[in-house]
A and B are shown apart, each in its own frame.
Chain A
Amino acid sequence: MNLVTAFLVALLAGMVLISFLKGKGKSGVFFAAVLLLAGMSGVPAWQALSGSPVEWIFPGNMVTGEIPLRLDALSAWFILIINLVFLTGGMYGVYYLQARSCTSDPSLTYPNGEGTNSPPLGGPGEVVHYLSFLLLYASLIALSVIQNSLVFLIAWEIMTLSAFMVVIYEHRKAETIKAGINFLVQSHVSVLFLMTGFIWAAVQTGSYDFASLGQLEQLGDLNNSPDNSIVFIILLFFIIGFGIKAGFVPFHTWLPYAHPAAPAHISGIMSGVMIKIGIFGILRMLLILPVDYTVVGYLLLAISLVSGLFGVMQAIVQHNLKKLLAYHSVENIGIIGLGMGIGCIGLGMDNPLIASLGFAGALLHTLNHALFKSLLFFAAGIVYKATHTLDVEHLGGLIKKMPQTAALFLVAAIAICGIPPFNGFISEFIIYSGLYNWILTAPLVPAIIALLMILGLVLIGGLALLCFTKAFGIVFLGSPRKEPDHEIKEPSFGQLLPLYFTGILIAGIGLFPQLFIRMLMEPVTLFTGDTTLIPSTALSELSGVLRSVSFAVWGVVLVTLVVFAIRRVAIKNNKSAIESSAIRNPPSALPTWGCGYTGSSPKLQYTASSFVRSYRKLAAPALLIRQHRKEVSGIFPTGGAYESHAYDKVEKWLIDKPVTALQSFMSRFLFFQNGRLQSYLLYGILFIIALIFIPVIWEQLVWLFDFLKNL
């Protein structure tokens, strides 16, 4: 029995056991299954990452042909990321589901009806959730290795459906179902593009094996198409198909719905790894398809820059914490895409340094984003569970109730802004290095483009800072904006454990980047391998630079610690000196300064909306804010109100408008659907008649025209 069969058997056994076990054992079996799958896929992946790729070939059947599973360094890198996030997510999920169901006590009702919507623990909802979770996990791993397009599409479909199932866990909420269906539809648009791309390629090459895609170029030459435009169009299909999954603008509109609707561990997994499978797909196609890398590079740069900027610009104005994070996924996908674009351009220029900087940055940022985004979502889940709301305007002061969660959120927030000493800085640093190295060697127009990219990346960083100071500051700092009607407390250590684990990894990558860049050696060489004789020089140069970066980052941490220690000692000394000179006992805490006004209330605090107000006014052309206001008027005003909702301009123009237009067009044919069985039978008969006679008539017409021509 080889490893693949064992993997599938373990999956099936886990699923069967979960379905038939009763009581508390389920979650145990579930987590054991996740562990087992992670071990079985992680060990060969680790070996592949250190330079020994594996290949399994299954005979398949006459439809699919041979099914090759190839585990190379690129697959291995993504498998390890998937394992990491699924392990932490699975562990967190077990606690999350239990804690959620505690609040489903019917006596606890909240004004907006939240908290009562999760299905009871131990019921079918939980079982289905666990099963879909395992399926999602297995399908993601399968997608990383399967190299037969038909089987790939099947695995893709399994992933989509199981993801749908886990998203709609809280299916009693109408919003959740709506978000789930939105996700399902958009995912299938993605499937449509992928299917077209794969089948087109298969028609050209006559095989479903990914490896045969590489021969497209020769075929293009045979057909006398010198600019291999077919390959490019096929790649375009793949970029759109995978881009929908990855969430590149303008294909991102499902993300801000699906992420907030899903339970927190699923949001973390979706944002952390599921959208990355889109990135993986694009990378895999870049690796296989013989394309003009320069053109693809510019294309990727363009859509990535737009995604990055648009994502973060939308994120800032969101009120829902998870929606904010979802838009940040779009931003980070943009950053990853920038890295890939630079890598492609480096390949096009035959410059291994730029190419490896670009791909290394992209791959490292994929890992980094998986880590800090899952941590952010997990922390947001804890906040949701404790307060039963995700509206940042109602939150505040949580740091005093749950300091550990707040600290973990802070770590991830600093990391996602790309600020040292955490991991986000490292990957952004590598991408910046790629851009600056590109500027040095580029002629006029590419230099200007590279400069634009730098400008964009800097703006993304600055906007992210604005966004996460808002998110952290408003949610965790200050005092509560709405008094909670129940006690808020820190969750148990067991639930915080996966968060701590992720946090340690985030700090680890930030402090020892040279270790992780060594792991990237193999996957990056896959891309740059054939452009240079000694492929690793560029990377070893990078790892030398990263050693200095590591020193600098350590410096930040150590200097801060030293300053903080001095501060502590000094404050203690000052205090004792003042107390010993004892004219008065100094108060150690007083209310916040309010310009002499002492009747301060939490309502006077700065809110999230006011914090970003000046930004919102500046960015107004790119945003779509719907405002409802009721002015205060008259001599005896009865009260005013103001509400603002951020909506997505892309969604309005790309999704809403065409769909409404299509609906109004289709509604003209509503009379067909009259509900009478007789008519439907008639339609069927008409269809069959048309099917038979149209070709016949066509033949006759052709014959007639030929006849007339001959005359």
Chain B
Amino acid sequence: MSDKEAALANLQKIQAEGLAALEAVTEQEELEAWRVATLGRSSPVMGVFSSMGAMDQDLRPVMGKAANEVRTTLEAAFEAKRAALEEAALLKELETEKLDVTLPGRPVERGRLHPLTQVLRRIIRTFGDMGFQVYRSPEVETDDYNFTYLNMPPYHPARDMWDTFYTKDEGVLLRTHTSGGQIRVMRERAPEPIRVILPGTTMRYEQLSARSEIEFAQVEVLVVGEKVTFAELKGTLEDFAKRLFGEEARTRLRPSHFPFTEPSAEMDVECFVCGGKGCGVCKETGWLEILGCGMVHPVVLENGGYDPARYSGFAAGMGIDRSTLMRYRIDDIRHFRNNDIRFLRQF
């Protein structure tokens, strides 16, 4: 074996021994010791470099290159090991940093819309998509707008349908329904076509109980134009019900009576609690009454400034509280206006 071969073999040995020793290293402290021993100033590979001056002139480049390769290999191995050990150490450390993820988060108090506002907005948006605009009319209303102009002159039997709060001012009452706004909007817009909804608070004289409320939210729908038909009333309200209660919602119209519409109807939707099988909420009928509607009565059109020989229209009115109550199975209708924070926080 020539000197050259012996020297190269020695280098291979240094490399093999170094890598073998590195393989055995498992701790970061050992790694430093390995580095000092294998790549430090007095390490064998550095010894090769320092003995270079004593080598033959022609041997030097070969040996230099070979020694460099060994050193680079060892260094690279060291880096790889170091990274591996660091990662292992990090993982070990992470092991100790375990959180109890079941602990509750730091609460960020979320603001909320009142549940009735939430429902009302869905209704307004749905009708808005169909070109309806919102119109507001007073809550303290005249007897004329609330009753007389709606085809209910004094002592009309239909006035019994609404238990009314009267004020001490002659002819002024708390509106029993949003329908009074029909006349207001018609008088303002005639003879333009009308497509509006009128949301608002209404008041009825009842005994307060879990099932009955004296103040509640309603939405009125009014369409007036030429050749507006019962078929369009049906189509519009069915579309609305599908948007509000889901594509599958089955509805039906059955005859009813309101003095300000003729023909009049009540719209039922298949009970969303039991799916129509019959339950306590739908009183075993499978149907829930959601709104009253009908073709605007000629007297009402006339009072609103539209010639009933030329114009027709339809109107609908729905209570928001009761259907919201049913949807969320709320046990007491008074929760809506008592504003108990434990109730409101659930929406």
A pairs with B: no
Interface residues of A (CB under 8 A from B): none
